[in-house]
C-alpha cells in the first residue's frame, strides 16, 4: 500500500507547488484535474482542493461533487478550494472590492485547532484572491483572521473539513509547511515514508521484475532526468540497456564529448551519434522559430530511430519523463505558446512498450535520487536546456559559425556562474534555475576596440529563477559578476562587441527567446 493525498486541481499556478511541498514532507501525492477524483482507491488518505484563477461566480467555474469525498476523507480547501466549499455548502462568497495580494498576518488563530498546531501569533501568510468568504456555512466555525480577511481559515464543527483563504504552499507563508504537515501527518495519518533510498530499492526491484531479460532503449539528452533514468535502469538490467545520445550540433561547447565521457564513467552502455551535418544542412536558411523546432524534432526522430532499429530485439523504450511533464494541467486559454515536445514517436513496427521509472517524481526528487545513485554533482545540478539547443538562442538562420560564436559566449557565462561563490558560499550557478546566452545575429552595432571601429553582433545574457519553468523571474545577478562576464565575452569572443542582460520575467516573456 502506498498512502497518498489527492490534490484536485482547479487551475491555479501554485497547484504543483502544493504537490512539491507534500513531497518535501516525504508524503506521496497525486495532482489530478478537479473532475477526476478516483473512485474507491484504498490508498487515498486525504484530499486537497487547489486554488483557481476563476471566481466561483464565473461562467464555467470549475465545480466538483463534494459528496464524492465528503465524509470519506479529510478535506483541505486552499483559496478557491475554500471559497468553493463555503459557497457550495451554504456560506457566502463575495468580490473583495480590491484584489488581496501579498503578505498578511494571522491576527487571530485558534491554536487549539489541529490545522494550526505550532503556529506563532501573527504568523505571516500569502494572500492572492479577488473574492472573499463573507459567511461560512452552518456547522462551521472561524479558526483564523487577518486584519482585512475575517474568514482567513475555517473548520467544520464535527467533520474533518478545513478551508484557508491564503496559500500555505507559497514560500511567503512562513509556517505553510507546518500547516500542510499538520494536515497530512496529524489529520490524515500520513507516514512520511518516502526516501530516495527506498525509492531506488523498490524501483530497481520493480524494473527487474517488469523487464526481465528484455532489451531496453533510452534516449539520453545530457539532462538530469534522462541521466538519472539511465543510471537507475543500468542498476536494474545492466547491459540490456542501450542508451542513445544524439549530437545535433547545437549543444553547448564540448558538451557532447564531456557528457558522453560522464556516461561512460557511470558504466552506461551508450552510443553517441554525431548527426550535426544533417541538422545543419536541413536548417540552412530557416529563420522562423517554429519551423526550426519542427525540423529539429523531425530530424531527431529520424536519427534516433535509425539507431534504435539496429537493436532489433528491443522490447522497451525508456524515457526520463517526470511528474510535471505528465500532470494534465488545466489550460484555461487552450493556446499553444511554443511546441516543446520535440521527440516524436518511434517506428510502429518496433512495437516498443514504454518504461518511465521517474514518472511520479518532481525535479528535486529526481536530483535526490541522483545523489543516492552516486552520480556526479555537475550532472545532477545541470540546468534545464531546451531540446533544440542553441538553435532557439540564435535569432535568425543557423550556421556552424554562429553556433561556435554562441558556444564561446555561453561557456564564459556558464563557467562564470559555476565559479562565482556567493556570500553564503553557494555557487551562483545553483541560485539560478537556468541561464544561457543568446546571439542576436541579425543585429549589428558599432563599437571601438583599441583604435579600431567594430561593427559586430550583440549577445544577450539570460538567467532566471523559477520553481518549475511555468513562471520565472529574471535573476538579480551581482553587477560585479555581470561586469566581469561582459568584459570576458567582448575581449575573448570574436564577432561580439556588446553584451546586454535580459530583465524580462515570464510571463509576459518566455525563458527562451524563440
Whose Cβ is closer to ligand XMP: residue 129's or residue 293's? 293
Binding test (CB under 6 A) with ligand XMP, winner from 342, 359, 399, 465? 342
- Comparing CB distances to ligand XMP, the nearer of 137 and 388 is 388
Q: How far apart are CA 49 and CA 9, in angstroms?
A: 7
Three cell numbers written together for 457:
553582433
Q: Give yes or no for residue 324 binding ligand XMP (CB under 6 A).
A: no
Estimate the crossing angle of helix 196-211 against helix 224-237, to 10 degrees.
Answer: 60
**Alpha-carbon distance 464 to 458, whole Å?**
20
Instruction: Tell how far CA 343 is from the center of its chain.
Output: 18
| CB closer to ligand XMP out of 258 and 340 | 340
d(CA 286, CA 226): 29
Query: Segment near ligand XMP (CB under 6 A), from 10-18, 35-43, 95-103, 503-511?
Result: 503-511
C-alpha torsion 495→498→504→506, nearest 10: 10
504: number of Cβ within 10 Å: 15
Nearer to ligand XMP, 163 or 386 (CB): 386
Q: How far apart are CA 404 and CA 66, in angstroms?
A: 58
- When the beta carbons of 15 and 240 are compared against ligand XMP, the nearer one is 15
One of 384, 421, 483, 503 touching ligand XMP (CB under 6 A):
384
Binding of ligand XMP by 389 (CB under 6 A):
no
Q: Which of 258, 278, 287, 340 binds ligand XMP (CB under 6 A)?
A: 340
By the rule CB under 6 A, 381 interacts with ligand XMP: no
| Strand ranges inside 467-502, DSSP E | 472-474, 496-501
> Which one of residues 163, 190, 324, 387 is an interface residue with ligand XMP (CB under 6 A)?
387
Judged by CB under 6 A, which of 72, 239, 338, 492 binds ligand XMP? 338
Pick from 318, 380, 25: nearest CA to 182: 25
Residue 323 Cβ vs ligand XMP, minimum distance, rounded to whole Å: 16
Alpha carbons 40 and 37: distance in angstroms, whole number: 9
Nearest to 386 by CA among 435, 344, 337: 435
Which x/- pattern, by CB under 6 A, does the window 35-74 give for ligand XMP? Answer: ----------------------------------------
Q: Pick from 388, 413, 428, 498: which binds ligand XMP (CB under 6 A)?
A: 388
Site for ligand XMP in 254-313 (CB under 6 A): 293
Provide the 3-class DSSP secondary structure of residue 405: helix
Give the number of residues in contact with ligand XMP, rule: CB under 6 A: 14
Which residue has the closest beta carbon to ligand XMP? Answer: 387
Q: Among the candidate windows 15-23, 101-109, 312-320, 337-345, which touches ligand XMP by CB under 6 A?
A: 337-345
In whole angstroms, what is the distance from residue 190 CA to residue 45 CA? Answer: 7
Which one of the spans 79-87, 164-172, 208-216, 334-342 is the region binding ligand XMP (CB under 6 A)?
334-342
Residue 35's closest CA among 8, 59, 11?
8
Which are the catalytic amino acids?
Answer: 79, 167, 169
Cell of 273: 551519434
- CA 183, CA 498: separation in Å to the nearest integer? 53
Q: Which is nearer to ligand XMP, 145 or 434 (CB)?
A: 434
Identify the three-state secondary structure at position 367: helix
Binders of ligand XMP in range 67-86 (CB under 6 A): none
> Is 408 an interacting residue with respect to ligand XMP (CB under 6 A)?
no
Candidates 34-42, 187-195, 335-343, 394-402; binding stretch for ligand XMP (CB under 6 A): 335-343
75 with 85: CB under 8 angstroms? Answer: yes
Among 160, 222, 320, 386, binds ligand XMP (CB under 6 A): 386
Q: How far is the CB of 255 from ligand XMP (least distance, A)?
A: 15
| Cβ closest to ligand XMP, residue 35 vs residue 510 | 510
What is the closest distance, in whole angstroms, from the C-beta atom of residue 285 to ligand XMP in the complex?
A: 21
Cα(276)–Cα(406) distance, integer angstroms:
16
User: Segment 440-479, which members bind ligand XMP (CB under 6 A)?
Assistant: 469
What is the DSSP code string of 159-209?
SSEEEESS-TTSTTSTTHHHHHHIIIIIIT-------HHHHHHHHHHHHHH
Which listed residue (13, 52, 175, 434) binds ligand XMP by CB under 6 A? 434
3-class secondary-structure state, position 469 = coil
Segment interacting with ligand XMP, rule: CB under 6 A, options 199-207, 351-359, 402-410, 504-512: 504-512
**Which of the residues 192 through 251 are near ligand XMP (CB under 6 A)?**
none
User: Per rule CB under 6 A, is residue 165 in the interface with ligand XMP?
Assistant: no
**138/125 Cα distance (integer angstroms):** 26
Which residues here bind ligand XMP, judged by CB under 6 A? Answer: 293, 338, 340, 342, 384, 386-388, 434, 469, 506, 510-512
Amino acid at each position: 500500500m502506498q498512502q497518498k493525498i489527492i490534490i484536485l486541481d482547479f487551475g491555479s499556478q501554485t497547484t504543483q507547488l502544493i504537490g512539491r511541498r507534500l513531497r518535501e514532507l516525504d508524503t506521496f501525492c497525486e495532482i489530478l484535474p478537479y473532475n477526476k477524483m478516483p473512485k474507491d482507491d484504498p490508498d487515498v488518505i486525504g484530499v486537497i482542493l487547489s486554488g483557481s484563477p476563476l471566481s466561483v461566480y464565473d461562467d464555467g467555474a470549475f465545480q466538483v461533487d463534494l459528496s464524492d469525498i465528503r465524509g470519506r476523507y479529510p478535506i483541505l480547501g486552499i483559496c478557491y478550494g475554500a471559497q468553493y466549499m463555503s459557497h457550495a455548502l451554504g456560506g457566502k462568497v463575495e468580490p473583495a472590492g480590491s484584489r488581496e495580494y501579498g503578505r498578511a498576518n494571522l491576527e487571530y488563530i485558534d491554536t487549539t485547532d489541529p490545522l494550526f498546531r505550532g503556529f506563532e501569533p501573527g504568523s505571516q501568510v500569502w494572500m492572492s484572491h479577488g473574492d472573499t468568504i463573507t459567511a461560512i456555512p452552518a456547522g462551521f466555525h472561524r479558526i483564523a483572521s487577518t486584519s482585512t480577511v475575517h474568514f482567513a481559515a475555517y473548520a467544520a464543527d464535527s467533520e474533518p473539513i478545513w478551508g484557508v483563504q491564503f496559500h500555505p504552499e507559497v514560500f511567503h507563508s512562513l509556517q505553510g509547511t507546518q500547516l500542510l504537515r499538520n494536515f497530512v501527518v496529524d489529520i490524515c495519518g500520513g507516514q512520511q515514508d518516502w526516501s530516495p533510498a527506498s525509492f531506488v530499492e523498490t524501483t530497481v526491484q520493480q524494473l527487474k521484475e517488469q523487464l526481465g531479460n528484455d532489451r531496453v532503449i533510452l534516449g539520453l539528452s545530457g539532462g538530469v532526468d534522462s541521466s538519472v533514468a539511465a543510471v537507475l535502469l543500468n542498476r536494474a538490467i545492466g547491459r540490456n540497456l542501450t542508451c542513445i545520445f544524439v549530437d545535433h550540433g547545437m549543444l553547448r561547447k564540448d558538451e557532447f564529448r564531456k557528457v558522453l565521457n560522464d556516461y561512460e564513467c557511470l558504466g552506461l552502455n551508450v552510443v553517441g551519434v554525431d548527426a550535426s551535418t544533417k541538422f545543419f544542412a536541413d536548417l540552412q536558411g530557416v529563420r522562423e522559430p517554429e519551423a526550426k523546432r519542427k525540423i529539429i524534432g523531425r530530424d531527431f526522430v529520424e536519427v534516433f530511430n535509425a539507431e534504435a532499429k539496429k537493436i532489433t530485439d528491443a522490447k522497451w523504450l525508456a524515457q526520463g519523463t517526470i511528474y510535471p511533464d505528465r500532470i494534465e494541467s488545466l489550460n484555461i486559454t487552450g493556446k499553444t505558446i511554443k511546441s516543446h515536445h520535440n521527440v516524436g514517436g518511434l517506428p510502429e513496427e518496433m512495437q516498443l512498450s514504454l518504461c518511465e521509472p521517474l514518472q511520479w517524481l518532481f525535479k528535486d526528487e529526481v536530483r535526490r535520487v541522483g545523489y543516492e545513485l552516486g552520480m556526479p554533482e555537475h550532472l545532477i545540478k545541470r540546468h534545464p536546456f531546451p531540446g533544440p539547443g542553441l538553435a532557439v538562442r540564435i535569432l535568425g538562420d543557423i550556421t556552424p559559425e554562429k553556433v561556435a560564436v554562441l558556444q564561446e559566449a555561453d561557456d564564459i557565462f556558464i563557467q562564470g556562474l559555476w565559479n562565482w561563490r556567493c556570500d553564503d558560499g553557494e555557487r551562483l550557478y545553483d541560485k539560478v534555475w537556468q541561464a544561457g546566452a543568446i546571439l542576436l545575429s541579425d543585429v549589428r552595432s558599432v563599437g571601438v576596440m583599441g583604435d579600431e571601429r567594430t561593427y559586430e553582433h550583440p549577445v544577450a545574457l539570460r538567467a532566471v529563477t523559477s520553481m518549475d519553468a511555468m513562471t520565472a523571474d529574471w535573476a538579480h545577478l551581482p553587477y560585479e559578476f555581470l561586469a566581469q562576464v561582459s568584459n570576458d565575452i567582448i575581449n575573448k569572443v570574436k564577432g561580439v562587441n556588446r553584451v546586454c542582460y535580459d530583465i524580462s520575467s515570464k510571463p509576459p516573456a518566455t525563458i527562451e527567446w524563440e
